[in-house]
Amino acid sequence: MRLRHIKGCEDFITDAKECLREDEAIALKGKIQDIFDVRRPLQIEIGMGKGQFIRNMALKNPGINFIGIERYESVLMKAIQRKRNLESEGAIDNLRFLCADARKLADIFETGEVDKIFLNFSDPWPKDRHANRRLTSPDFLQVYDRILKPEGVIEFKTDNVGLFEYSLEVVKDSKWKLDFCSFDFHSEKESEGNIMTEYEEKFSSQGNKICKMIISR
């Protein structure tokens, strides 16, 4: 999918006090929680899009710090703007953003620094030659293994059955174990209280089933 470039988004991201660029975050390795007023358990969403999910997670869980990670500046700009619009009712002080490539996360976060990782409706990269770009590929699972706490978990949601089946095979052949799996998550009792992304709302309203897995070591 071709993303529309928004003029001035690079400068907007650079000036945004609630956002770090990749080089700034790498320089802060080991001190990433200095961007928050208070240190708390840390959860991240990789490829957050316009940020609906992580905004609502931050609002619902004030005792947790959240970082939304997005590599595309035009998309990230919209996420920051929507956070600011909500803050007319009070600051969301437990949510920050990071403009970075997910492959660099082990250069940004210390070993065992992250409590939970969310992967929501990631790009499926359907061609076999692009499999290593999928956020559930073995290469990415190695990155997550480094930055997650020993008891940390990954929650993955998608409407793409092919990507979900691929991810299940990757988990089966790895050190990770499957704690929860459903090809129709919204029909499960575990979906009670589920916070949806923009894509999740769109796809489920069209009758698409949502797949979800939770994995840990």
Q: Looking at 107, 115, 123, 145, which residue is catalytic?
A: 123
- Residue labelled with tokens 């190695």: 142
What are φ and ψ of residue 215, in 5° steps? Answer: -130, 155
3-state secondary structure 13-74: HHHCCCEEEHHHHHHCCCCHHHHCCCCCCEEEEECCCCCHHHHHHHHHCCCCEEEEECCCHH
Cα distances (angstroms) measured from residue 8 to each of 26, 27, 46, 121: 24, 25, 23, 27
Q: Which segments of 98-207 does DSSP mark as H helices, in order?
A: 105-108, 138-147, 161-172, 198-205
What amino acid occupies position 30? Answer: G
The reply to whether 123 belongs to the active site is yes
The 3-state DSSP class for residue 121 equals: coil
Residues noted as catalytic? 123
